[in-house]
Structure 1
Amino acid sequence: MKSLGIAIIGAGMIGGAHGAAYRQFAHRFGGDGMELRCVCDMNEALAGDLARKYSFRKTARDWKQVIGDPDIHVVSVCLPNFLHTEVTLSALQAGKHVLCEKPLALSAAEARPVRDAALAADCVSGTVFNYRRIPALSDIRKRLTTGDLGKPVQISVLFQCDYAADPMLPHSWRYEFDKAGPGALLDLGTHAVDMARFMFSDISEVTGAISTISVPERHLPKAATSGHGHVDLSDEMAKVGNDDVMSGLLRFANGAQGFVSASRVAVGSGNRLAVEVHGTKGTARFTTEMPSFYELALFEAGRPSNFVRMPNRPSSAYIGQLAPVPHDLASIGYSEVFGYLIHEFLEAVAEGRALENGSIEDGYRAAQVLDAIQTASVGNAPVKVDWQA
């Protein structure tokens, strides 16, 4: 196999996660393998630091230079939300294999051309829905698919962080609606909505939603920022234009109901995903705060249904031999799961097949639901989701 050049566009916080995962898994593929070729960012120091840390050969300042480089074949788009559409669309049109960070776009209308381009392109593409690779959640979905949990009844998905709870964190693009879209909803709720779809399939209606801005304004920073760290602040304030908390009630095409909530001000929640699934025969629940196991209760007539702890197994059939320590009781964490996503993406590239578990189509479907939640929160009325569009 000809050596394939890998590039990361965007050297910020999440670009580092891509860099670490590529460094871990790119060498696993045969022939001449895959080469860590370029890190692109307008901040040259940031790009250089990431390139050195994970052994990428060079850096670039202009993403268009990367897209036009014939030695670059695989691209991760790790830019601020408002740049995802343009860069991903350009990469697809140039024939690059592309993995776009969530959210795919600021709205479904912006996401649809990207989805259409992905369907037409002769290359592999995907949206970063890494939490699908948590063995426990994959196992819960399998139990739903096989009928072990019975007919789907209800699901609750919470994605809670506290990075914005501190009012002294600086204002940035994340707090501007025209650059970030809905705040916690788009930044974090994308994962919650995708997980609800992953478990229960298509969502037909958002029956209600509510949003809150708990920190109404923030200080502007004195210099450029990256991630969620503290920096020197100016005396000038800027209004926060998107939600800190957003919650929505869902109706699924299969008749089940659901609740999703996203918060960036949930004090004490570093990066918490909590999923609880109820079926006619059983219940399962998992939280990333307790990654070693999940809880499962199955109903059988005439017998008590107590929760039992099931290990979040590295030896899951989904992971195979990817886990460095494949002992059943060794816990699986964020970095491993992110690596499994990158491995699956590169495996699809190497084999010339579509990435189906977290596709661009999945990113578009999530965008449709996110639009409906936002609209329902503004209009205080139910909103249909055209999941056949």
Structure 2
Amino acid sequence: MAQKGIAIIGAGMIGGAHANAYRQFAHRFGDMPLAIVCDTNAEMAGDLAQKYGFKAVASDWKQVISDSDIHVVSVCLPNFLHTEVTQAALAAGKHVLCEKPLALSADQARPVRDAARTAACVSGTVFNYRRIPALADIRARIEAGDLGAPVQISVLFQCDYAADPMLPHSWRYEFDKAGPGALLDLGTHAVDMARFMFGDVAEVVGAVSTISVPQRHLPLGTTTGHGHVELSDETATVDNDDVMSGLVRFANGAQGFVSASRVAVGSGNRLAVEVHGTRGTARFTTEMPSFYELALFAPGQPSNFMRVPNRPSSPSIGDLAPVPHDLAAIGYAEVFGYLIHEFLGAIAEGKPLENGSIEDGYRAAQVLDAIQRASVVNEPVKVAFED
């Protein structure tokens, strides 16, 4: 049997999450060696390869994609490089998992979506939070009608990595390279979770944007992730949002609120979801990962919340839980592993990855565009539905 080598393109912070997940699960699917880590920074590529057991390093992503021994590619590059590399990987017949956001705009995402539709390989967008057992459970309850007809959803994704004004300027703070700031970097997850729960968004009724740190110092050295480095005296303008919020209406008539912040002090990586239906409410936050809260309406009885634990039988877990016991917390790394396991399983079975597809990445981009536009024009913006 031919080897199906795995390559990670981009050795930064998120590349490590992919590498860890492949190391954990690739062996379950036969001969799928951890082959190459690719990055223009040779030291970073070497460190990541050594840490997670990848056999080789490279500096040119085009050479990696042209390598006939590489069958699986994770694209873990800065946002502005996602479309070019993902399209090239699809054209080369590679199975490809692209980090979010799929592109800086829906116009840029559309060719990737079109290529994925015709490619004879498995592809997906990294929407790892769909695999949180509690959120998968809540979605299953919505589909089963347990919460009644959808009425309202609130999804907040809050981080504080940019709250420190002494964090150096980088591509993340440039609209041309990162697109909308917190909205695209974090709000992509919020928008996808809203769609995951309630379906397509028909209209953005309104949106508001804030830049709270308008200038940042340029770094003297290389930056990685959200790390601090020595700063120069020179500053550069931040021209994308630190906070963005949007009020939306779904195709099913329900309403929603999505918000993203990279300056929410005290929020390391917080996703909070609250769903209201005509018969019940469900709430979950990543700050309390062991359970979600649920209240179901019963005539003549008080609607007291109950705690529903993450159980081994929950969707997305199966035999993957390292500690298969009720209320054993499921963390970020485990959930990321479930995504990689599902991706590799789709490859092994020759089936599409439907739970977080390239199509989902494109649909999210359409909503993100509408939110960004609504914040500028200060009026409702329709979201176009395309086949």
TM tier, smaller: over 0.9
Rounded Cα–Cα distance in structure 1 between residues aligned with 2:119 and 2:326: 40
Output the amino acid matched with 2:142: L
Rounded Cα–Cα distance in structure 1 between residues aligned with 2:316 and 2:224: 34
Aligned residue number for residue 194 of structure 1: 192
Output the amino acid matched with 2:15: G
Q: Quote the offset at 1:313 in angstroms.
A: 2.4
Contact 1:313 1:332 (8 Å CA) reproduced = no
Contact 1:9 1:63 (8 Å CA) reproduced = yes
Alignment pair present for 1:162 and 2:164: no
Rounded Cα–Cα distance in structure 1 between residues aligned with 2:2 and 2:202: 44
Q: Quote the offset at 1:163 in angstroms.
A: 0.1
Contact 1:220 1:237 (8 Å CA) reproduced = yes
Alignment pair present for 1:75 and 2:73: yes
Rounded Cα–Cα distance in structure 2 between residues aligned with 1:2 and 1:89: 24
Q: Quote the offset at 1:317 in angstroms.
A: 4.2
Q: Quote the offset at 1:324 in angstroms.
A: 1.5
Match for residue 246 of structure 1 among 244, 247, 250: 244
Output the amino acid matched with 1:309: R
Match for residue 376 of structure 2 among 371, 375, 378: 378
Aligned residue number for residue 316 of structure 1: 314
Rounded Cα–Cα distance in structure 2 between residues aligned with 1:100 and 1:318: 20
Match for residue 344 of structure 2 among 343, 346, 350: 346
- Cα RMSD between the aligned structures? 0.8
Aligned residue number for residue 4 of structure 1: 4
Contact 2:137 2:315 (8 Å CA) reproduced = no
Rounded Cα–Cα distance in structure 2 between residues aligned with 1:88 and 1:379: 32
Rounded Cα–Cα distance in structure 1 between residues aligned with 2:103 and 2:301: 48
Rounded Cα–Cα distance in structure 2 between residues aligned with 1:263 and 1:240: 15
Q: Quote the offset at 1:282 in angstroms.
A: 0.1
CA 1:373–1:237: 2 relative to 1, 3 Å: same
Contact 2:159 2:265 (8 Å CA) reproduced = yes
Aligned residue number for residue 19 of structure 1: 19
Corresponding residue pairs, total: 387
Where do 1:296-315 residues align within 5 Å?
296-315=294-313
Rounded Cα–Cα distance in structure 2 between residues aligned with 1:85 and 1:356: 19
Contact 1:169 1:230 (8 Å CA) reproduced = yes
Contact 1:315 1:328 (8 Å CA) reproduced = no
Aligned residue number for residue 150 of structure 2: 152
Q: Quote the offset at 1:312 in angstroms.
A: 2.1
Aligned residue number for residue 365 of structure 1: 363
TM-score, length-scaled by structure 1: 0.99
Q: Quote the offset at 1:224 in angstroms.
A: 1.5
SS in structure 2 opposite 1:192?
A: helix
Aligned residue number for residue 57 of structure 2: 59
Identity, in percent, stands at: 81
Contact 2:156 2:260 (8 Å CA) reproduced = yes
Contact 2:136 2:314 (8 Å CA) reproduced = no
Structure 2: stretches of 5+ with no match in the other structure:
none
SS in structure 1 opposite 2:233?
A: strand
Larger CA deviation: 325-334 vs 194-203: 325-334
SS in structure 2 opposite 1:224?
A: coil
Deviations 1:223-243 (A, max 9, x none): 111111110000000000100
SS in structure 1 opposite 2:33?
A: strand
Where do 1:198-347 residues align within 5 Å?
198-347=196-345
Match for residue 177 of structure 2 among 172, 179, 201: 179
Rounded Cα–Cα distance in structure 1 between residues aligned with 2:268 and 2:312: 23
Rounded Cα–Cα distance in structure 1 between residues aligned with 2:316 and 2:212: 40
SS in structure 2 opposite 1:206?
A: strand
Output the amino acid matched with 1:13: M
Q: Quote the offset at 1:331 in angstroms.
A: 1.1
Deviations 1:258-300 (A, max 9, x none): 0000000000000000000000000000000011111000001
Q: Quote the offset at 1:190 in angstroms.
A: 0.0
Structure 1: stretches of 5+ with no match in the other structure:
none
Q: Quote the offset at 1:29 in angstroms.
A: 1.2
Aligned residue number for residue 85 of structure 2: 87
Rounded Cα–Cα distance in structure 2 between residues aligned with 1:41 and 1:167: 28
TM-score, length-scaled by structure 2: 0.99
